[in-house]
Chain A
Amino acid sequence: MSATKPYVRPMAGWWRRNPFFMRYMAREASAVFLAIYAVTLLVGVFRLSQGKAVYDAWLAALTSPLSIVFHLVALLAVCYHAYTWWKVMPKTLPMLHIGGRRIPETTLSAVGWAAWLAASVIVYALVRGL
């Protein structure tokens, strides 16, 4: 065993040195908010299975300032996830061609962003109308 300690490159704060890395870490951090949100919904399903009084208490808990602030931050984080997801999506696909010309990546991303908008409008209409 060597008497000298091996050099370990420090990791602390590496991503704060470059805006590109900061955007990368913001995107990765969105997963934390998405996970907490999914667990919130899971708790809601659990409360629903226990009856009306318990479910109503869960609904009331959602109106607390802490919950509202969390959901506002989660909304921003997951919007950033959705934006980056469709932005990167063309790079994960094989090259697509129409009439011998490659479809530009920006066009494919735009289709994704449009699908995001359409899905949001449909869900809102379903919740409002049904």
Chain B
Amino acid sequence: MKRTNEPIFWSLFGAGGVLSALLGPILILITGIVVPTGTGLPPDAMAYPRVLALAQSWCGKAALLAVISLFLWHAMHRIYHSLHDLGIHAGAGAAAVCYGIALVATLATAYLLLIIGF
């Protein structure tokens, strides 16, 4: 039987699916709606010193990397497989673009968290 790399991508899809099914809605609500409109949370909830401290802690770095990276591995896998449903016969090029976006975002996030320091 021919070996495929599908289990790797499916595992990342699954991990991102679980994480976004637990945390996706509340994170969107907090960072995109509650904090910008100033309702329901202290005004400094996402202020620079606080978010910098988060990004400089090991826990915070792990959380930010997991959320950004796994959300994208999940979403890009789903988008890649949905191309077929839209009548686009996706080949290796489409896979490279979809998974490439997730990979580049993962590396970029890791690099940024590294240069933000400890």
Contact = CB atoms under 8 A, between A and B. Distances in A.
A62 B72 contact: no
Interface string B78-97: 11001001110000000000
B79 A75 contact: no
Contact of A42 (B17, B105, B115): B105
Q: Is the interface of A mostly helix, strand, loop or mixed?
A: helix
Contacts of A75: 25, 28-29, 32-33
Contacts of A35: 71-72, 75-76, 79, 101
A123 interface: yes
B71 A37 contact: yes
Contacts of B72: 35, 38-39
A56 B24 contact: no
Interface in A15-64: 15, 25, 28-29, 31-32, 34-35, 37-42, 44-46, 48-49, 52, 55-56, 59, 62-63
B52 interface: yes
Interface string B49-68: 00110010000000010011
Interface in A57-113: 59, 62-63, 67-68, 70-72, 74-75, 78-79, 81-82, 85-86, 112
Interface of B: 17-18, 20-33, 35-37, 41-42, 45-46, 48, 51-52, 55, 64, 67-68, 71-72, 74-76, 78-79, 82, 85-87, 101, 105, 108-109, 112-113, 115-116
Interface of A: 10-12, 15, 25, 28-29, 31-32, 34-35, 37-42, 44-46, 48-49, 52, 55-56, 59, 62-63, 67-68, 70-72, 74-75, 78-79, 81-82, 85-86, 112, 115-116, 119-120, 123-124, 127-128
